[in-house]
Structure 1
Amino acid sequence: MTDTIRISVDAMGGDNGPRIAIHGARLALRERKNTSFIFHGPQPILAPLLEEFAELKPVSTIKHCEVVIAMDEKPSQALRKGKNTSSMWNALQSVKDGEADVAVSGGNTGALMAMATFCLRPIEGISRPAIAAIWPTMRSDIVVLDVGATIGGDARQLVDFSILGAALARALFDQDKPTIGLLNIGTEEVKGLDSIKEAGKILAAASGSGFTYHGFVEGDDLGKGTVDVIVTEGFTGNIALKTAEGTARQVGWYLRQALSANWMSKLGALFATSALRALRRKMDPRTVNGGVFLGLNGIVIKSHGGTDEIGYKSALGLAYEMARSRLIDKIGEGMKQFPISAVPSIPTPEPEAKPA
């Protein structure tokens, strides 16, 4: 019998209310029976929903709290308002206290990162936490980080992210030495910012210590799946993530327009129904919903705030897999193989990159 994975859920986080979180939990439970849930939020709101989704009741607990962090609150305000009292904080506290194995929230990203950093604290030797996304490619899923936790980053931080990303890839893909690439404006060693070039030298020297350093990769490698882990700072990573999501929707719109243009295209679509359904599932961002907060003494999953129950189910599934695969232990193992605390920081500001 597999041990039960305990998931702590900020039921009030997100744009669409607690029904999405609880409905998503019901769908997740159907796929992974050895799961239990702690839902944080107002008892009068959550209790009737559990009555509605009755199969969840035997494996669920409600922890009452009345404070809810708004999606537009500044992180500093959210921390002052919600520490020890909000559904978001209490979801994280359950992980810290050992009541849950992993926390999930669809709430305010900045507030969640601030609270998670304050509550769970960064792992010793990690300069900054990062948000990692699971990215579908033409080859297989890969890990991309950071996708929004930080703006800018020196060589030390990029190396930190590389070690964290490699640990996540080992946990997800069961690989001993996942390949790592640094996102750059070209693959040549002379291109890019000084921080990227310095991080590349450090990773090249350490290649083999729990990962294999591939070198620099470019934007099109995100779709090709050239490496298992692509590392960048949060400003660039977030733009890449939102661009990919927008492109997927754009391609889907083009396809729908083309298939409904006339009776011949409609007939062709009818014959290709099964293939089109498979394509729709592959391009559906809900199936890869969930960013992993890496570098903390606990596992936190950030669900997209505007997702539906299908997307929330995906985030909960990711949370389950992260807890089951002992992600925190694997990060610790990676740090022992490559002591990143010895990596120097590169002064900022940096010189402007030359055009490709």
Structure 2
Amino acid sequence: MSAPIIAVDAMGGDYGPRCIVPASLDCLSEYPSLHLILVGQASHLERYLDSHQGVDRSRLSIVDAPEVIGMDELPSLALRGKPQSSMRLALEQVRDGRANACVSAGNTGALMALARHVLKTLPGIDRPAMAAAIPTERNPCLLLDLGANVDCTPDNLCQFAIMGSVAAQVLGTAQPRVALLNVGTEDTKGNQLVKQAAVLLQQVEDLNYQGYIEGDGLFRGEADVIVCDGFVGNVLLKSSEGLARMLSRKGEVLFRRSWLSRLQGALAIPLLRELRAELVPSQYNGAGFLGLQGIVVKSHGGAGREDFQAALRNALRDIEQDLPQQLSRRLQPML
């Protein structure tokens, strides 16, 4: 494979270039073959690059984008009113073959609308779905949708399940177990959306559909792919991230409470560090938009330097796996 190239929306997210530029430079140091295209207001990007001494610019280029899409901006306005936004021009780098992937921490709704408009969906797919790996007691589980599609139809959930299953296979899971997230495992439980989606999934050939799963089953690792609408998925994702941070901070407070607890903490530090490394949300930052004719990775809007670097790593992994082409080839017999 030729050297991978990632187009980065350098103006997106809560922190913009002051976080994204150093994260990008860190990733260039980590991957000697990687090339990055920083898309944003060139004067701002140059200023942040100048603040990092000894930067090797041979694998880094800048595309000037005078417009920025706000985090609270309506997707329709972003789609029609800002043709020179950093997000749109970053996506166009992928469309025009100048980059293999796009990474943005910007407005999710705008990124969804622009990605569908600029890159188009794969044949047979109505809507892309945001998918990310969630840590469990066993192997990470692919959860989708994570917020790109708040309102879904049963057909949407069925397509998400098929895409998630294929993506899990591409990423190394043979015969991935697929489940629908629900308020119970009995056939009588759930709303009409989930019940109708279940009927469709039972009819899909070559899909290892397991039925319903509850939220605690996700973290026990009872499925490899879990499907839900974007409203539920986003609430679950944010809740799990908040819980992981709370447990980490609670542990630190408890082990500082007295000299005895500090002694116990010192003995437990190696295990705590290992647990934190497995659960820290930044390690799992970066949700891929499955179903597009190109690779797009959405970073958390509040992502810090290490978090955004994780999103870049996920984009690089999808490039190496040639994910859109693999999805397109394997989806057709199942749709």
TM-score range, shorter chain: over 0.9
Q: How many residues align?
A: 334
1:174-225: CA deviations, max 9, x gaps?
13421111111111222222332232233223242xx411111111112111
Give the Cα separation in 2 of the matches to 1:299 and 1:269: 43
Q: What corresponds to 2:158 in structure 1?
A: 159
1:314-354: CA deviations, max 9, x gaps?
00000000111011112112322212xxxxxxxxxxxxxxx
Q: What corresponds to 2:177 in structure 1?
A: 179
Q: 1:248 to 1:221 in 2, by over 3 A?
A: same
Task: Within 5 Å, give how 1:254-333 maps onto structure 2.
Answer: 254-333=250-329
Q: What corresponds to 1:219 in structure 2?
A: 215
Note the C-alpha offset of 1:283: 2.3
Q: What corresponds to 2:193 in structure 1?
A: 195
Q: What corresponds to 1:87 in structure 2?
A: 86
Q: What corresponds to 2:34 in structure 1?
A: 35
Whichever residue aligns with residue 67 of structure 2, its letter is V
Give the Cα separation in 2 of the matches to 1:54 and 1:41: 22
Give the Cα separation in 2 of the matches to 1:269 and 1:190: 47
Give the Cα separation in 2 of the matches to 1:281 and 1:175: 22
Give the Cα separation in 2 of the matches to 1:304 and 1:280: 19
Of all paired residues, the percent bearing the same amino acid is 39
1:44-99: CA deviations, max 9, x gaps?
2212333426444110110112111111211112222322x011100000000011
Q: What corresponds to 2:13 in structure 1?
A: 14
Indicate the SS of the match to 2:332.
helix
Task: Within 5 Å, give how 1:106-125 maps onto structure 2.
Answer: 106-125=105-124
Indicate the SS of the match to 1:160.
helix
Q: 1:251 aligns with which of 231, 240, 247?
A: 247
Give the Cα separation in 2 of the matches to 1:53 and 1:243: 39
Whichever residue aligns with residue 273 of structure 1, its letter is I
Indicate the SS of the match to 2:5.
strand
Note the C-alpha offset of 1:254: 2.0
Give the Cα separation in 1 of the matches to 2:22 and 2:139: 29
Note the C-alpha offset of 1:257: 2.0
> Comparing 18-27 with 187-196, which one deviates more in the overlay?
187-196
Give the Cα separation in 1 of the matches to 2:309 and 2:119: 24
Q: What corresponds to 1:345 in structure 2?
A: none
Indicate the SS of the match to 2:69.
coil
Note the C-alpha offset of 1:146: 0.6
Give the Cα separation in 1 of the matches to 2:159 and 2:26: 35
Q: 1:320 to 1:241 in 2, by over 3 A?
A: same
1:101-147: CA deviations, max 9, x gaps?
10001111111111111111222211222111211111011110011
Task: Tell whether the 8 Å contact from 1:147 to 1:238 is kept in structure 2 after alignment.
Answer: yes
Indicate the SS of the match to 1:216.
strand
Q: What corresponds to 1:347 in structure 2?
A: none
1:201-259: CA deviations, max 9, x gaps?
33223242xx4111111111121111110000111111111111111122122212211
Give the Cα separation in 2 of the matches to 1:244 and 1:53: 38
Task: Tell whether the 8 Å contact from 2:79 to 2:110 is kept in structure 1 after alignment.
Answer: yes
Task: Tell whether the 8 Å contact from 1:171 to 1:326 is kept in structure 2 after alignment.
Answer: no
Give the Cα separation in 2 of the matches to 1:153 and 1:67: 31
Indicate the SS of the match to 2:241.
helix
Structure 2: gaps of 5 or more residues: none
Indicate the SS of the match to 1:206.
coil
Give the Cα separation in 1 of the matches to 2:191 and 2:327: 27
Structure 1: gaps of 5 or more residues: 340-356
Task: Tell whether the 8 Å contact from 1:11 to 1:18 is kept in structure 2 after alignment.
Answer: yes
Task: Tell whether the 8 Å contact from 1:82 to 1:88 is kept in structure 2 after alignment.
Answer: no
> Comparing 199-208 with 13-22, which one deviates more in the overlay?
199-208
Whichever residue aligns with residue 131 of structure 1, its letter is M
Task: Within 5 Å, give how 1:130-145 maps onto structure 2.
Answer: 130-145=129-144
Whichever residue aligns with residue 11 of structure 1, its letter is A
Task: Tell whether the 8 Å contact from 1:167 to 1:327 is kept in structure 2 after alignment.
Answer: no
Indicate the SS of the match to 2:106.
coil
> Comparing 322-331 with 187-196, which one deviates more in the overlay?
187-196
Give the Cα separation in 2 of the matches to 1:50 and 1:4: 22
Q: 1:180 to 1:320 in 2, by over 3 A?
A: same
Whichever residue aligns with residue 256 of structure 1, its letter is E
TM superposition score normalised by structure 1: 0.89
Give the Cα separation in 2 of the matches to 1:270 and 1:34: 40
